[in-house]
Amino acid sequence: MTTKISFNNIQGSGIFTITNTASSISTSTGALQVAGGVGIGGNVNIGGTVVGGGIRTSSTSTTPSNPTVGDIWYYPITDTIYRYTDDGNGYYIWLDINGPGSGSTGPQGPSGAQGIQGPTGIQGALGVQGVQGVQGVAIQGPAGSSQGTTGSQGPSGLGTINTGTAGYVAYYSAVNTLSAPTSGNLFWDNTNTRLGIGNSTPAQALHVTGQILATNTITAFYSDDRLKNVSGTIKDALNKVNKLRGVYYTNNKLAESYGYTSLEQQVGVLARDVETVLPEIVKAAPFDLDVNNQSKSGENYKTVQYERIVPLLIEAIKELNSTVKNLQAEIEVMKHGT
In the three-class reduction of DSSP (H, G, I as helix; E, B as strand; rest coil), residue 202 is classed as coil
The gap between the terminal CA atoms of the chain, to the nearest Å, is 229
Q: How far apart are CA 195 and CA 167, in angstroms?
A: 10
The contacts of residue 113 (CB under 8 Å, 6+ apart) are 89, 90, 91
Query: How far apart, in Å, are the Cα atoms of 214 and each of 106, 155, 205, 210, 306?
Result: 139, 32, 18, 13, 17
**What count of residues does the chain have?**
338
pLDDT band at 102 (very low <50, low <70, confident <90, very high): very low
The most confident of the ranges 4-8, 20-24, 102-106, 328-332 is: 328-332
Answer for the pair 273, 243: CB distance below 8 angstroms, yes or no: yes
Q: How far apart are CA 170 and CA 129, in angstroms?
A: 67
CA 303 from centre of chain: 62
Order the strands of the 72-75 sheet from edge to edge: 55-57, 72-75, 80-86, 92-96
Q: Provide the pLDDT for residue 101.
A: 44
Q: How far apart are CA 235 and CA 241, in angstroms?
A: 11
Domains of the chain: 55-96 (no CATH), 158-216 (no CATH), 221-332 (1.10.10)
Q: Provide the pLDDT for residue 317.
A: 97
Q: Provide the pLDDT for residue 64.
A: 73
Tell me which H or E stretch contains 57. Answer: strand 55-57
* Amino acid identity for residue 214 in this structure: A
What pLDDT, in 10s, does the model give residues 52-69? 445 665 556 667 777 777
Q: Provide the pLDDT for residue 135.
A: 74
CA 96 from centre of chain: 80
What pLDDT, in 10s, does the model give residues 224-236? 999 999 999 999 9
Q: How far apart are CA 162 and CA 172, in angstroms?
A: 10
The count of C-alpha atoms lying within 13 angstroms of the C-alpha of 205, restricted to the half-sphere facing its C-beta, is 0
Answer for the pair 304, 274: CB distance below 8 angstroms, yes or no: yes
Q: Which residue has the higher pLDDT, 186 or 60?
A: 186
The contacts of residue 300 (CB under 8 Å, 6+ apart) are 284, 288
> How confident is the model over 157-186, as a mean pLDDT?
70
The count of C-alpha atoms lying within 13 angstroms of the C-alpha of 65, restricted to the half-sphere facing its C-beta, is 0
The contacts of residue 240 (CB under 8 Å, 6+ apart) are 234, 277, 278, 312, 316
Query: How far apart, in Å, are the Cα atoms of 208 and each of 166, 183, 217, 290, 299?
Result: 19, 16, 18, 13, 20
Q: How far apart are CA 268 and CA 279, in angstroms?
A: 16
In the three-class reduction of DSSP (H, G, I as helix; E, B as strand; rest coil), residue 283 is classed as strand
What pLDDT, in 10s, does the model give residues 254-278? 999 999 999 999 999 999 999 999 9
- Model confidence, pTM: 0.46
